[in-house]
Amino acid sequence: MPVASPVQYAQMLDAAQQGNYAYPAINVTSLVTINGALKAFSDQKSDGIIQISTGGGIFASGLCQQDMVLGAIVLAEATHRLAEKYDVLVALHTDHCQADKIDSFLKPLIAETARRREAGLPNLFQSHMLDASELPLKENMAHSQDVLKLCAAQEIILEVEAGVVGGEEDGIDNSELPAEKLYTTTEDMICVYESLSDLGRFMFAATFGNVHGSYKPGSVKLRPEILQEGQQAVMEKHGAAAKFDLVFHGGSGTPTSEIQRTLDYGVVKMNIDTDTQYAFTRPVADHIMKNYDGVLKIEGEVGNKKVYDPRSYLKKAETGTADRLAAACDDLRSTGKSIYASVK
């Protein structure tokens, strides 16, 4: 499974749009999480999206470097190599990048793809996200236009956001915003289309009350009909070809019935981070608690190398990640729908 080419990635998104399903997009921070993602997609015969945040890049670069670009490149290159051994497609994507990090994160990564293309190598990333949603929409679209032009020149798809995803993720804290900020308006959706449609292919994270993090049932007030109404308004004005490739952020903990409503409205990608983080950590905690006397050298004892060897619990973390992501493939209806065999 080579990482999808730009053409194959476009075909993935088209297939999801036409088939009313979406791809899980998992944030990765390590080889363990990459391998968990690849296992899940392969097991489910689902294509998928592996993505890296600025914080994930910083973490992956190590404590001495703290370099979000270096870490993102390392994780992406590792995914390219590992993905060759599988028979489904994955795309590489970068998650929320705020406007003040365009020059320090997005542009260096776009330049790295340009360098690779000049050397006859495939794109490092197939898509990037610019999250300028904290800015007034006019400023947001001005930044989005500039970055989309850079992306389109390298056959990269840009994801943009209008409206704000609530909660907190990777240092971006929108937990105190007023509720009305969490819902993208129909007028906003029309503006996004008219601002970007002539510049290159893009995905759109329209917000409908979704939040990052995990919450008890009933705490989050989703209004998926916002997506339906916005899609209808854009297509009524600009034709059926104007239908957005929508992205669902803050999907962790959402009931399956609400997830699947959004698929009928054009969602082709759903980010899943909080749930997979928990699925990674839960079996590690279980291992530590069940093997406490072996993991630690207590009262002069020597412990048990077999249980404090990091591989003993990180394999369980990989399995936990893969199992949760497999469930996401089922929820998003992507299981069994890989297009790899038809496009390779």
Contact 221, 182 (CB under 8 A): no
Mark whether 95 is an active-site residue.
Answer: yes
Burial class of residue 280, CB neighbours in 10 A (0-12, 13-18, 19+): buried
Q: Pick the catalytic residue from 95, 131, 245, 275.
A: 95
Beta bridge partners of 203: 159
Contact 27, 276 (CB under 8 A): yes
Beta bridge partners of 98: 131
Active-site residue list: 95
